[in-house]
Chains A and B, each alone.
Chain A
Amino acid sequence: MRERQSSDQFARLALLLATLISLIVSGLANSTAAASPEYQVKAVFLFNFAQFVEWPPQSFEDAAAPFVIGVLGTDPFGAALEGAVRGETLNGRSFVIERYRSVTEIRHCQILFISRSEAAHIEEISASLAGHGILTVSDAEDSAQRGLMIRFVAESNRIRLRINVEAAKAAGLSISSKLLRPAELVTSTD
């Protein structure tokens, strides 16, 4: 009888402890990598682009090179990108998330998200990346018309795609028609 009493007391103590720990951890996460639901979706979308786009072989360093999703500028994703690609592979390649402060940092990258922080330099970025076989994505205003390949457009709580097929073609990328279907197609205005 005494033994049971002591085990019940232990169980209550453990439960209280676990609750405390989880509260602390979740508070930490919010403070360090908190991302809005919008960017959680966009992170998944970025990952999903890997399924619908084909890259030329030379865009990879070698056959075993990982698939790189890069973020240029201020990272709005927090941990969402890492969460989206965790455990995923594509054609034997693992996913790597890289973050760049400037275009010059970019070595090998297959999908590059250009943050709104870089909205003013879009034309320059686009020009410097031309011919590198990098799918450029942004949610900056008119980014697709300004030479980027895909723009996220928020429409009544939904995120729509606006794709500049010419830009993708120019970069040697081939975008699956399935991806084009739900998307709005645009061309560069310049």
Chain B
Amino acid sequence: MPSGQTPIRRKLMTMILLTSGAVLLLTSASFLAHEFFTFRYSTVRSLSTLGQVIATNSTAALAFDNAKDAVEILTALKAEPHVVSAGLYNSDGQLFATYPQGFDNGEFPRTPGADGYRFEGHFLVGFQPVLEGQRRLGTLFLKSDLGALFDWLRLYSGIAASVIAASFLLAYLISRNLQRQISEPILALARTAEAVSRERDYSVRAAPVQGHELRLLTDGFNHMLERTQAQLSRLDLLQKITRAIGERQDPASIFQVVLQRLEDDMPIEFGCICLHEAQSDFLIARTIGARSMPAAASMGISEQTNIPIDDNGISKCLLGQLVYERDVREVSFPFPQRLAGGGFRSLVIAPLLIESNVFGMLIASRREADAFTSGDCEFLRQLSEHVALATQQAQLYGALQRAYDDLRQSQQTALQQERLRALGQMASGIAHDINNAISPVALYTESLLEREPNLSERTRSYLVTIQRAIEDVAETVARMREFYRPREPQIVLGRIHVNRAVQQIIELTRARWSDVAQQRGIMIELRTELADDVPELIGAESEVRDALTNLIFNAVDAMPNGGILTLRTRLVGSQRVCLEVSDTGIGMDEETRRRCLEPFYTTKGERGTGLGLAMVYGMIQRHSAELEIDSEVGKGTTMRLIFTVLTPDTAASGVVPVLVPRQSLLRILLVDDDPILLQSLRDTLEGDGHTITAASGGQAGIDAFAAAASSATPFDVVVTDLGMPYVDGRKVAATVRALSPTVPIVMLTGWGQRLIADDEVPPHVDRVLNKPPRLADLRVVLAELTA
């Protein structure tokens, strides 16, 4: 037996033994005392009786002075060994006879004392009057030792001690047995409690025992264990649920997991979470537990069902109280009746509270009446607090997430715009150089076509193509830095015959989709499905052409193993024209589809610029059109451009050919740092009969103008480049204006579009023309300015 289990046994034994020992001791002591006094009394009595007998017998001896006879009588005391001595005094108080005989008279009192018996030390001493009738003849003295008393005391004490010892032994044996009946169950309980606390296993139960109180104790202990176990399991469940809802961020899934846990682990037979909007007089069933669905359906409750707020239950819960209906059958309000109709009896409604505002309720029900303990209710109340808090956090988290997404969106937009702005700046620099570079080509081509009537048909045809190509280049360059801008009034709008444009593009791109593909050993089949009734569109044809070209190139790139390329036009409704480019290529994944319109995003590695679809998108925006992308990985991609057909009235402002009458011959000062451009301009303007002075730089231009101004032949017009080293077009214009307030100043610039767009026409400049300058435009401007 472990030492820890002994104390209660020892205590019980000690108690029993001490009690019985005390009782025995007290009993024995009282018996002893009683017997002692009884014995003393009886000793006195027997001695006095003896005294009386002796006295009575001594009367004659005393009366007739017969000492011998008196001694004889006294000698009879031999039979009483405890009588130590005896003496007879005559009526004169003189010692008359003694016993034992010849005993030293010094042992006897000289005269008799008072009558009666008394204890003196270890002796009992008595004086007995000797009477004959009424007459006192003398006194008898008796002295008895108390040996009998002490003998008796010894004997009695011995008996008492052995009785006590025997009783004690018996009590020990009995109590050892009896205490087991008490201590065993208590020790068993203690062992169970120890096992419970050591192993934290609350499913252990103490074994039932006999005996009313002990059974109560055991039952109480087991009951406590049950409650603890239930409490622990609820705590465990609460923790599980808390952890589960902690992992979720949206109220719907929080509600779902809470209800599922409640249904599985608590368990409840019907669980539902309803939400309540402030001021409304009904609840909305938000989430119903998965297992509660059939029951809910039978009661006509589904998610989003409105539940009117009763006067009772729900409205009390709305004030923040937990409501427990032991039996809904006894509650006459509609919602409890509804549950009763579904076969439920007990109902708990726990409020979901945020800052003392009830925004929802947790409804739990069981089919048995009064099936929720107070522990269950408390658990549901705590749980509802957790759920409310988690819901609030989820809502806050959602709001935060949205704010974050918005912020990120804004940041991306800003980033993209910044990127596009940088791109625009770069593009305008490039455009300037390209415009400068192609200006001579444009000027000479136009000049040739106009002035050389004897050109062969073939040459003319080539020159026209060159001219168109140059124009495309010029427009492309112009667009390149403008593609991110919204539609600007400077865009040259024209009528676009869609089907014809498509045919032209097919021809222009044939090399790519046919020849190059064939060289690589793949076959791309081109199909066209062009609707006949497609009306003309108003727009920039070159932009549309470029967009289509880009789409066709992308389609070809998407079919590295060949496939079908389909170009489709059709009328959608009466006002919309759809232009589709489809391929049967690799398609785009979600990421690519989402990002494909971003500038510089490419899937083509080094080969791609990442600008193709970005330019298409710019065109779409400028034309107020729409772009749809259907794509499936492995199946192919369809890019769909949808244009809105403008009414003829609005399209009437389109550019119409202007016939310029031949103007008067002018003296023109040309200022440009680019000698080739200078030469080409000179050649073409001289072709028109003008007198040209060319200055290859700002300072040279100013010098030439100053020289001419003071001469007889000043310049009629100054045409100057804008961007030049050392002295730029602005300076030239200012100087010229200072010298001559009236002479018109025309500025040629690769940045022309931008100048206009930014409303930045430099001072003193009468007109700005873009590079490459078209001869026709130049003629019109010169005519207008010098008219």
Contact = CB atoms under 8 A, between A and B. Distances in A.
A, B bound: yes
Interface of A: 41, 45, 48, 51-52, 88, 90-91, 158-161, 176, 178-179, 181-183
B686 interface: no
Contacts of B56: 178
Contact of A176 (B60, B65, B66, B135): B60
B69 A182 contact: yes
Contacts of A183: 64
Contacts of B65: 41, 158-159
B505 interface: no
Contact of A52 (B60, B68, B69): B60
14 contacts: A45-B63, A45-B64, A51-B135, A52-B59, A52-B63, A91-B133, A158-B65, A159-B64, A178-B57, A178-B60, A181-B57, A181-B60, A181-B61, A182-B60
A182 B133 contact: no
A51 B69 contact: no
Nearest to B68: A182
A48 B135 CA distance: 10
Interface in B50-90: 56-57, 59-61, 63-66, 68-69
A49 B64 CA distance: 9
Contacts of A48: 63-64
B63 A51 contact: yes
Contacts of B132: 51-52, 178
A182 B135 contact: no
Interface residues of B, number: 14
A104 to B, nearest CB: 31
A41 B90 CA distance: 14
B133 A161 contact: no
Among B63, B133, B135, residue most surrounded by chain A Cβ atoms (within 10 Å): B63
A159 B65 CA distance: 8
A146 B63 CA distance: 25
Contact of B59 (A88, A90, A161, A178): A178
Contact of B61 (A88, A91, A160, A182): A182
Nearest to B73: A181
A51 B66 contact: no
B559 to A, nearest CB: 170
Q: Is the interface of B mostly helix, strand, loop or mixed?
A: helix
A14 B160 CA distance: 77
A161 B64 contact: yes
Among B61, B69, B135, residue most surrounded by chain A Cβ atoms (within 10 Å): B135
Contact of A179 (B60, B68, B133, B135): B60
Interface of B: 56-57, 59-61, 63-66, 68-69, 132-133, 135
A115 B61 CA distance: 25
Given A51-B135, A52-B132, A90-B133, A181 B69 contact: yes
Contacts of B135: 51, 88
A54 to B, nearest CB: 11
Contacts of A90: 133
A173 to B, nearest CB: 16
A10 B773 CA distance: 201
Nearest to A48: B63
Contacts of B57: 178, 181
Given A51-B133, A52-B132, A90-B133, A182 B66 contact: yes
Contacts of B61: 181-182
A90 to B, nearest CB: 7
Contacts of B63: 45, 48, 51-52
Contacts of B133: 51, 90-91
A79 to B, nearest CB: 20
Contacts of A178: 56-57, 59-60, 132
Nearest to A45: B64
A45 to B, nearest CB: 6
7 closest cross-chain pairs (CB), A and B: A182-B66, A178-B60, A182-B69, A48-B63, A51-B132, A179-B60, A182-B60
Given A51-B132, A161-B64, A182-B68, 18 more contacts: A41-B65, A45-B64, A48-B63, A48-B64, A51-B59, A51-B135, A52-B59, A52-B60, A52-B63, A88-B135, A158-B65, A159-B64, A176-B60, A178-B56, A178-B57, A178-B60, A181-B60, A183-B64
A88 to B, nearest CB: 8
A52 B60 CA distance: 8
Nearest to B67: A158
Contacts of B66: 158, 160, 182
A161 B63 CA distance: 12
A182 B63 CA distance: 10
Contacts of A161: 64
A56 B133 CA distance: 17
A160 B65 CA distance: 9
Contacts of A160: 66
Contacts of B68: 182
A114 B61 CA distance: 24
B129 to A, nearest CB: 15
Contacts of A179: 60, 64
A112 B107 CA distance: 43
A90 B133 CA distance: 9
A181 B133 CA distance: 18
A177 to B, nearest CB: 9
A161 B60 CA distance: 11
A157 to B, nearest CB: 11
Nearest to A51: B132
Among B57, B61, B132, residue most surrounded by chain A Cβ atoms (within 10 Å): B132
B92 to A, nearest CB: 12
A181 B64 CA distance: 11
Nearest to B91: A44
A90 B64 CA distance: 18
A188 B60 CA distance: 24
A45 B137 CA distance: 12
A176 B133 CA distance: 12
